[in-house]
Amino acid sequence: MGSFGRRVRRFFHDIRIELKKVTWPTKRELLVYTGVVIVVILVVGIFFWILDTGFTALLKLVIRR
């Protein structure tokens, strides 16, 4: 096996070692984090929808005059 093959093997070996160091979330933590992300996405989406609706209405008023 050439130098490239050894480097690739070493790379994947190092990945396995690093993944063993990771503190994985529990199922409950994962559900809570997912819920938080979904709520934040909805809040930001609604905020920008309201902002867009307001600017659209304002622009229509300016264009009509």
For residue 1, what pLDDT is reported? 63
Q: What is the pLDDT along the chain (65 residues), one digit of tens a residue?
A: 679 999 999 999 999 999 999 999 999 999 999 999 999 999 999 999 999 999 999 999 999 87
pLDDT at 45: 98
Could you tell me the residue ranges of all domains in the chain? 25-65
Q: Is the dihedral of CA 14, 20, 26, 32 positive or negative?
A: negative
pLDDT number for residue 2: 77
CA 15, CA 11: separation in Å to the nearest integer?
6
